[in-house]
Every structure is written in C-alpha cells, then in structure tokens.
Amino acid sequence: MASLNVGNLGEYLREQRRQAQLSLRQLAEAAGVSNPYLSQIERGLRKPSADILQQLAKALRISAETLYVQAGILDERDPDEVETRAVILADPSINERQKQVLLQIYDSFRKENAHDDEARDAARDAMPHTN
C-alpha cells in the first residue's frame, strides 16, 4: 500500500498516544476503531474521516481541531491560537457549552485586536514620511 499524503498526522498521533501512555490497542478501543485501522493511520496508509479524528482526539484528550490541521482538513493557524484552543477544549473542569462560549469570546478578542492592528498600520502608512 502506498503512503497517502496526510502530512504528519500518523507521526503526530503516535506521539500523542505515547505521551498519553496508551498502547495502540488501548487507543483503538477508546476511540472505537479497529487496531489494524489505527495502525494504518499511524503509518500514513489511511486518511481518516473528520469523525474518526474527532473520536481519536476525544480518546487522547486533545483538540480535534489540532488533528484536523495535521490531517490537512483545516488550515494551520497561529500555533499559539491552536494551543490555546486545545487547552480550552481539553479542560475537564468546564462543560462543552462553557468551552464553546470561551472560544467565541477568544475569537472576538482576536478579531478586535486584528482590526485595531490593521487600523494602526493604515494610520502609520498614511503619515508623510520624512528623511
């Protein structure tokens, strides 16, 4: 079987599984996929669906968004943004609704700050330049 172009998804999954101290069999069982299928994903022979990635992320207690980026389903964002989202989504002390609200607030602050940066840059560019 030829390796599919799935970026570093397999390597990333293997590393996350090892960090979680799970065997291939344990992760496969927790995610509800077969052991051979997970092995093929880790070796880059299969490209899992978004649903399977979500199941794997949940079993690994990481952000599904991070796996979507690794699989090429989502565009890569600022690494700090991805990490912030991953931390929020992985926090077991808040429920799913609270996580979504936090992410919406986070997005609104990022958009507001990006707009402020653009306005400041435009104002600076409009100023006459002197030597």
- DSSP class per residue in 29-88: HHHT--HHHHHHHHTTS----HHHHHHHHHHHTS-HHHHHHHTTSS----HHHHHHHHHH
With tokens 């600076």, the residue in question is 124
Q: What angle do CA 64, 67, 73 make, to 5 degrees?
A: 100
pLDDT at 77: 67
Model pLDDT, residue 4: 42
Q: What pLDDT is recorded for position 131?
A: 57
Q: Which residues of the chain have pLDDT under 70?
A: 1-7, 75-77, 129-131
